[in-house]
Amino acid sequence: MKIFGIDPGSERTGYGCVEHSGSRHHLVLCGSLAAPATATFPERLKHIHAGLAALLAECQPDCVAVETIFHARNVRSALKLGHARGVALLAAAEAGLPVVEYAPTEIKRAVVGYGRAEKPQVQQMIKLLLGMDHTPSPHDVADALAVAICHLHASTGAVAETIRYHRAPRGTARSWREFRPS
């Protein structure tokens, strides 16, 4: 199963593709799309759409997972973020792929074990889960990979059975807050 995760943003959109085979997650590709600073807002949206469409055609994922809007500092920011999400959803729809959406707290809970985890915690867990040499940067990339992993953890079938099978026994640490080194 191959999942393409998207963390939409009007300034920079993070993306990441994760494949699940057997009992491990494998990084396929990741990065971010950012239009030139001098580009107008419609040009930025066009750049995001074209980039995502090309990446989806290249990766051929089974599904696209997108982070939902949870809040914004002001209405204008929320509207711009909504436009960027719309462009991402359009690229997935044009590719004929199913789309699932997850709230930021769901994503953090699935990856870190705590719904209010900080961005560095998410980056560190993504590094560990995917066996990366360095933490994914910028944080938009880590967030996109986290969305993909969240869907892998939430999906039914073989992935969910594998995760259930490897669940820690009672009395052991179930999240980073309960972990105590021996």
* Summary mean pLDDT of the chain: 86
Concatenated DSSP letters for 57-95? HHH--SEEEEEPP---SSHHHHHHHHHHHHHHHHHHHHT
Catalytic residues: 7, 67, 140
Tens place of pLDDT per residue across the chain (182 aa): 999 999 999 899 999 999 998 778 999 999 999 999 899 999 999 999 999 999 999 999 999 999 987 666 788 888 899 999 999 999 999 999 999 999 999 999 999 999 889 999 999 999 999 999 999 999 999 999 999 999 998 874 433 433 333 334 445 445 555 555 55
* Whole-structure pTM value: 0.83
φ/ψ of 26, rounded to 5, equals: -125, 135
pLDDT tens by residue, 20-64: 987 789 999 999 999 998 999 999 999 999 999 999 999 999 999
In order of their start, the domains of the chain are 2-165 (3.30.420.10)
Q: What six digits make up the tokens of 141?
A: 């990339």
